[in-house]
Amino acid sequence: MSNIIAIVGRPNVGKSTLFNRLTKSRTAIVEEVSGVTRDRIYGVSEWNGIDFSVIDTGGYVQGSDDIFEGEIRKQVEIAIDEANVILFVVDVTVGVTDLDEQVAKILRKTNKPIYLVANKVDNTARQFDSADFYQFGLGELFNVSAINGSGTGELLDKLVTEFDPEGAPEDDEHIPRIAVVGKPNVGKSSFINAITGEERNIVTPLSGTTRDSIDTRYQLFGFDFKLIDTAGIRKKAKVDQGLEYFSVVRSIRAIENSDVCIFMIDAADGIGKQDLNIFYVIEKNKKGVVVLVNKWDLVEKDTMSTKEWEDNIRDQLAPFNDVPIIFTSTVTKQRLHKGLEKAMEVHENRIQRISTSKLNEFVMDVVKKQPPPAVKGKFVKIKYATMLPTHSPSFAFFCNMPQYIREDYKRFIENRLREEFNFEGVPIRVFFRKK
């Protein structure tokens, strides 16, 4: 069984700051307002040679009509159910509140180890104030300051005694990472919930629901990869310099750290300028890509609709338009698994290696039939080619005068490589170098 900690408490007590401290990261967005964290966020930590997972949760609230707080409450309850140990975080600067009492009442019903953590204790006076929290009857109290790390060492020393040294989190460093990206409200979280069969991510009709990038390990039907839900990326001019800015930064970082991106488009809106901007970010980072046209069930169709849409999308994505395009609906679950299958095919295309002998056998035949055009009376002779040891497919062609290779001939070579070796969904680079 894995070693898992869930951090719970009312809004704005410093749960995300403590999460970032324990995981030695800046994964969770931290802001001085309540309700910043909505979904469950997972991280990995290590202390005294023992590895464990940490779950950050949104602030627990009961009796609220707010659509987000109701969904956040569900996510907290799932985290409590998943965890082996629970950290109940309270704020010493505010003291005991009715919301703290409500959370404590929920936690008393569980038989799991509960650690009461008084946060923001950064001076002696606050250490005395924290004694008020003993009234919850939840055992030993730990005084910490998540922002500067004070007291977290003593807390971790005690925490790891609850864990099995052999129950470390699974090593998922080398499994494929698939990021689901797109504009706000195109159905990214709905897609992941439909695929996993559980409400892992909060879904509402409002754009901007997802703020953090949320990882989900998927191990079904022979698949094993990590799905990453991201915040919607709006036009730069419309992004607020606050929570949304950090959400977008994390989405861009999720693209940078992924292997393949499932790029979602809203069928009701078609492909617009902002969709193209997101696609260019994927292409610039040389990531594999699968295009999912979501909400296809809302489009009035005839026998030619699919082909017309495909042709239009490929025209817009040119010159890199050798990408799989799948028409889906997260409501009817139409072709969702086909999207996953294609994403894994693209991943295999991206990591394939072509031997130098096989590559040269093909390239020399192509060059013989269609040599580079002469420029200013100069004739370029390509001697041999090799595949470079890079993360994304890159090829070096060695010749006598690389400066005279025209851009259209580079595209010609790239297209022939795509036809022969199947690089669907993968940006490739072609370099010409002097022998």
Q: Is the pLDDT of residue 415 over 70?
A: yes
Specify whether the CB–CB gap between 380 and 400 falls below 8 A: yes
- Report which of residues 19 and 196 the model is more confident about: 19
Report the SS3 class of residue 362. Answer: helix
181, β-bridge pairs: 263
HSE-up of 236 (CA within 13 Å, CB side)? 3
Rounded CA separation 312/392 (Å): 27
- Residues listed for the chain: 435
Q: Please say if the pLDDT value at position 31 is more than 50.
A: no
Please, what's the b/e burial string for 394-409 (b: 16 or more CB within 10 A of its CB; e: otherwise)?
bbebbbeebebbeeeb
Q: What is the pTM of this model?
A: 0.65
Cα 11 to its chain centre, rounded Å, is 24
* Euclidean distance between CA atoms 9 and 19, whole angstroms: 12
Q: Report the sign of the C-alpha dihedral through residues 380, 384, 389, 390, in that order.
A: positive
Rounded CA separation 304/311 (Å): 11
State the Cα–Cα distance between residues 253 and 271, nearest whole angstrom.
23
Stretch among 24-33, 336-345, 404-413 having the lowest mean pLDDT: 24-33
pLDDT exceeds cutoff 80 at 292:
yes
Predicted confidence band of residue 209 (pLDDT cuts 50, 70, 90): very low
334 near 293, Cβ under 8 Å?
no
Q: How far apart are CA 186 and CA 192, in angstroms?
A: 12
Least confident among 23-27, 157-161, 200-204, 259-263: 200-204
Mean pLDDT of the chain: 81
State the sign of the Cα–Cα–Cα–Cα dihedral 300, 305, 308, 312: positive
